[in-house]
Amino acid sequence: MTSNKSITEPFADRLLDWWAKHGRHDLPWQQPRTPYRVWVSEIMLQQTRVEAVTDYFERFINTFPDLQALATAEIDQVLSLWSGLGYYARARNLHAAARILIDEFDGQFPNTVEQLNALPGIGRSTAAAICAQAFDLRAPILDGNVKRVLARHAAIEGWPGQTRVANRLWEEADIRTPEEHAADYTQAIMDLGASLCSRSRPSCSSCPVKADCQARIQQRQHELPTPKPRKTIPERIQAFDILRNEAHQLLMVRRPPSGIWGGLWCLPEAGSLESVSAVQSLAAPEPIRHAFSHFRLELQFHHSLIEAEDLVMNRNLQWRSIEGWLNQGIPRPIRHLLENLQ
Ligand code: SF4
């Protein structure tokens, strides 16, 4: 792939020409590119790479082929298909938005950024990406990949999380977005950020917009976009109870809808269940460390066989075999633990 595009050609034309030859045209949500499929893919792609999303997307669409199927599903089923993708608020918002679209929009997707942006889990850039890709309407986007391309191409200083910097990037996004070919342009700029203009090793010699890229001209590709100011990430420790019964089942609780792992099934936090009496202590597994975006958690475990008769099961407290739990929506480190306990 080489490119000698001149700067006399508009940014968008150079990008579209490159994308026609080198872009991704066979992503599962591109065929057919319906609003529902585009929406699901855009939500899955937030914070997650295309390669990690495609299998999840196929499974999700096979189970919930349309809005109606998603809106009438139980949240547990939605979370179980999301299990392992992380950022579970996305799945809860997807489910909530599906219900709103059925109840208030007659099952039709609105085609304005403002209306889409008002739905749960759809920010400004995602709303624009849906408008552009599903309806081919002009709508500038600014996701992580696009921020990187624009911060470099226009040499915009400062961490994009700051409002001042984000506003400058939105201006650049707006100036460059063409009136026509909105869907293809949106995919093209996302693809450029995900491929040639990568975070650590940009391939500038092949880039269709290299001629006027200020970061390349100034040899500052590795400084831009400006990284987030460093903060030490806090560490937390939480102990969990692995409680077994005579039938080799494990006890799990459903976590509250908000907070970490909201709505997922999880081991009870140590000591949180009253009326549980251990009849035998078992060897505890090694602690597991898990990184969230804003803190690190060390999960420690107590392991015991318990007298289960005093416990009353309900929607949020259940016994299941390990295999049974592995089919439910459970957090990634707990899944890892159960696979090792099997
Ligand atoms: S020339 Fe390099 S830094 Fe500039 S947009 Fe292209 S790949 Fe990114």
Domains of the chain: 11-217 (1.10.340.30), 235-341 (3.90.79.10)
| CB of 221 closer than 6 angstroms to any ligand 1 atom | yes
Per-residue pLDDT of the chain (342 residues; tens, 9 = 90+): 444 556 678 999 999 999 999 999 989 998 888 999 999 999 999 888 889 999 999 999 999 999 999 999 999 999 999 988 988 999 999 999 999 999 999 999 999 999 999 999 999 999 999 999 999 999 999 999 999 999 999 999 999 999 999 999 999 999 999 999 999 999 999 999 999 999 999 999 999 999 999 999 999 999 999 999 888 889 999 999 999 998 889 999 999 988 889 999 999 999 888 777 778 889 999 999 999 988 999 999 999 998 877 677 888 999 999 999 999 999 999 999 999 998
227 upstream amide cis, omega within 30 of 0: no
Q: Is 157 a catalytic residue?
A: no
Ligand 1 in contact with 148 (CB < 6 A)?
A: no
Among candidate residues 205, 198, 214, the one with its CA nearest the CA of residue 154: 214
Nearest atom (ligand 1) to Cα of 149: 5
Catalytic residue among 9, 42, 114, 223: 42
**Length of the chain as a residue count:** 342
Spacing, Cα 166 to ligand 1 middle (Å)? 19
Which residue type does 213 have? C
Nearest in space to 264 (alpha carbons), one of 78, 31, 55, 99: 78
Does any ligand 1 atom lie closer than 6 A to the CB of residue 43?
Answer: no
CA quadruple 109, 111, 117, 123: dihedral sign: positive
Could you tell me the pTM of the whole model? 0.73
Ligand 1 pocket, 79 CB below 6 A? no
